[in-house]
Structure 1
Amino acid sequence: MTPQVTLPRTQDIEAATTAQRELAAYLATGFETKLVQLVDSQGRLHPIQLPMAALQLLSEILSELADGNAVKIVPVHAELTTQEAADLLNVSRPYLVKLLETGKLAFHKTGKHRRIRFDDLMTYKQARDEASQSALDNLAAEAQELRMGYE
């Protein structure tokens, strides 16, 4: 069962903003120390070793929360349902199913259900994003050549 995703409350946004700034400042120092200390309600310190990748991910999560966005973490080895994949691509589920059925996006079946590997979805998304950016670059170049007032 996937956890319910909810938007952060005002106090969560404020706390995330402060924490993200402080964590970003720490990460900018380049120190390799990964020892973080948590303080419980009695003021006792609890040291915890964290991989640098976890601190960077935490910084990204805090940034999203500070912007008022809900956050959901998906393991990269995960297999997604068609709805989860559609949500990540910001497309409708029927459109995603068409991508699967036309072979534009790899999938496999688990019983009757289609499953998409997260890394396959991200590869497709990156290619789609690059194609979109290339098309925009071409349109901008063409507008410049035609002197359409976008200088």
Structure 2
Amino acid sequence: MTIAEAADYLFVSRPHVRKLLAAGKLAEVLPRDPTGRINIEVVSVESYRTARDAAVRAYLDSQAEDSDPLGL
């Protein structure tokens, strides 16, 4: 998966994908292809998106009014 494809899949910018690669949150396929293009492991992109979506859901669930006791 290219950086542009990963950015589209994650709904982020290409520079953000590069930051995720630098931080080790996404895994690069090594060795690079002969043109020097960076390829990203599809599994790492999918697992990052799954974890991010789960964190968003957990946050939104914690903000629901139903989680507060009545009368507070």
Please confirm whether the aligned pair reaches a TM-score higher than 0.5, indicating the same fold. yes
**Residue 122 of structure 1 aligns with which residue?**
46
1:75-128 residue CA offsets vs partner (Å, 9 max, x unmatched): xxxxx1100110111110001110111111111341432211222211111011
SS in 2 for 1:108: coil
Within the candidate set 12, 15, 19, 1:98 is matched to 19
Report which of the two structures shows the higher radius of gyration computed on alpha carbons. Answer: 1
Indicate the RMSD between aligned Cα atoms, in angstroms: 2.0
Which consecutive unaligned segments of at least 5 residues does structure 2 have? none
Letter in 2 for 1:116: I
Which consecutive unaligned segments of at least 5 residues does structure 1 have? 1-79
Following the alignment from structure 2 to structure 1, what is the Cα–Cα distance between the partners of residues 44 and 53? Answer: 14
**How does the TM-score come out when normalised to structure 2?**
0.77
Question: Which of the two has greater helix per residue?
Answer: 2
Alignment of 1:74-93 (within 5 A): 80-93=1-14
**How does the TM-score come out when normalised to structure 1?**
0.40
Alignment of 1:1-151 (within 5 A): 80-109=1-30, 110-111=32-33, 112-140=36-64, 144-145=67-68
Report sequence identity in percent: 39
